[in-house]
């Protein structure tokens, strides 16, 4: 009888590992390639471009005209993130955060960039 209970206990443990992805309480393996969290520009400050090329658009969506292109490590004056059209870029899919930016230096919103492709500074 004890042997049967042991076999059942081992079977249940193995089932749990397979079904729930590992040992309960174990830390998930780190992913070096996980995307950075999307920028928020909560302090009305600056964001840094984290991708090789990034389009600045006239509105909050990929359907808006491209006003200019910015490049990796460019520093952009920004306003807090806004919700807009969905997009997939820079390691994220189905994102909808857009950072309003001021590229003319006139303290106004001149365009929008995908929040997943920039980082708060």
Kindly report the length of the chain. 121
The answer to whether residue 116 scores a pLDDT higher than 50 is: yes
Q: Around 14, how many Cα atoms within 13 Å sit in the side-chain half-sphere?
A: 6
Helix H, strand E, coil C: the string for 70-104 is EECCCEEEECCCEEEEEEEECCEEEEEEEEEEECC
pTM (2 decimals)? 0.70
pLDDT tens string 26-85: 434 444 444 557 888 988 899 999 999 999 999 999 999 999 999 999 999 999 999 999
Sign of CA dihedral 82, 86, 88, 92: positive
Mean pLDDT of 20-26: 40
Q: What is the pLDDT of residue 14?
A: 42
Q: What is the pLDDT of residue 43?
A: 82
Q: What is the pLDDT of residue 29?
A: 41
Domains in the chain (CATH in brackets) are: 46-120 (2.30.30.40)
């Amino acid at each position: 009888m004890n042997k049967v209970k042991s076999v059942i206990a081992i079977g249940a443990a193995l089932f749990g590992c397979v079904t729930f992805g590992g040992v309960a309480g174990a830390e998930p393996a780190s992913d070096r390639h996980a995307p950075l969290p999307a920028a928020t520009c909560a302090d009305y400050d600056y964001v840094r471009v984290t991708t090789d090329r990034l389009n600045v658009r006239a509105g909050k969506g990929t359907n808006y005209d491209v006003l200019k292109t910015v490049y990796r490590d460019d520093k952009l004056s920004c306003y807090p993130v806004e919700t807009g059209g969905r997009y997939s870029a820079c390691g994220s899919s189905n994102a909808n955060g857009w950072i309003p930016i001021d590229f003319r230096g006139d303290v106004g919103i001149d365009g929008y960039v995908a929040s997943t492709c920039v980082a708060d500074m």
